[in-house]
A = this chain, B = another copy of it.
Amino acid sequence: MSRNADGRTRVRLNRSRVLETAVALADTLGIDALSMRRLAQELDVVPMALYKHVADKEDLLDGMVEVLIREIDPPAPGADWRNAIRQRVLSARQALQRHAWARQAIESRARPTPAVLEYQDSFAGIFLAGGFTPDLAHHVMHALGGRMWGFTQELFDGSAAPAAEAPPALTPEAQAAMFAQMQELYPNIVTVATAAQHDDGSVVAHGCDDQFEFEFALDLLLDGFERLHRQGWSSAQVRKQHDPAR
């Protein structure tokens, strides 16, 4: 067994040690700062040593995603489809929040690993067991999309002013000036972004509640799924309607 600089014997490397260290490192440093070299250093090993345990960086990322999937609660056995889906998604969401890198990692993966397929299979299974036709289950899973993983579809963070990051603290005057400018340039965004507080009756700006937004969209979709399910929706009739010649 090899020894480190202190001459103490060192635990052997193995795939899960590599993956778990990578996960921990990505948690603290962010996915961009996770390099093979940095990871090797963390494991007190030369970079190339990692390649005995992962094929390449792609494989490392795949493995990290698998670690994450294992943290997601298994489907609740007795629940009806709606609660089963809801629980699973919200559990996935929690796992994703523990690992901020995960969203990017999952989305950048080119091909699904067995673990990913298994995860998606369980969703399909829940819908089918709930009496969904394969047809409806298919479309419904597409509609769920990233939300299956608990992704919030960011991309609209009304509370984020443009380029207001580098300066750690803004003077109240500067803030007010920026707000005024925002209001001028993007009046609707400002209206909408500050809406949540108004309706609450609260005064302070507290940003928006990601969890609430996530569940809002999720339940909107689940409501829609339920309605279609009840009324025996089928894609054939919709297609016919849109394209009667066929």
Contacts and interface: CB of A to CB of B under 8 A. Distances in A.
A85 to B, nearest CB: 13
A163 B138 CA distance: 22
Interface stretch (A13-21, A76-84, A167-175, A215-223): A215-223
A239 interface: yes
A33 to B, nearest CB: 15
A106 B147 CA distance: 18
A153 B145 contact: yes
A2 interface: no
A235 B211 CA distance: 13
Interface stretch (A3-11, A41-49, A93-101, A120-128): A120-128
Given A112-B162, A199-B236, A192 B137 contact: yes
A187 interface: yes
A62 to B, nearest CB: 11
A145 B199 CA distance: 22
Contacts of A133: 195, 199
A212 B224 contact: no
A155 interface: yes
A234 interface: yes
A191 B124 contact: yes
B117 A191 contact: no
Tallying the copies of this chain within the complex gives: 2
Contacts of A196: 135, 138, 235
Interface in A105-133: 106-108, 110-114, 117-118, 120-125, 127-128, 133
Contacts of A217: 139, 142-143, 145, 221
A16 B44 CA distance: 47
A164 B111 CA distance: 9
A28 to B, nearest CB: 19
A124 B192 contact: yes
Contact of A112 (B143, B160, B220, B238): B160
25 contacts: A110-B165, A111-B164, A112-B162, A113-B162, A120-B156, A120-B186, A120-B189, A121-B185, A123-B188, A125-B187, A133-B195, A135-B195, A135-B198, A135-B199, A137-B195, A142-B216, A144-B153, A144-B156, A145-B217, A148-B156, A151-B153, A200-B235, A200-B239, A220-B228, A223-B224
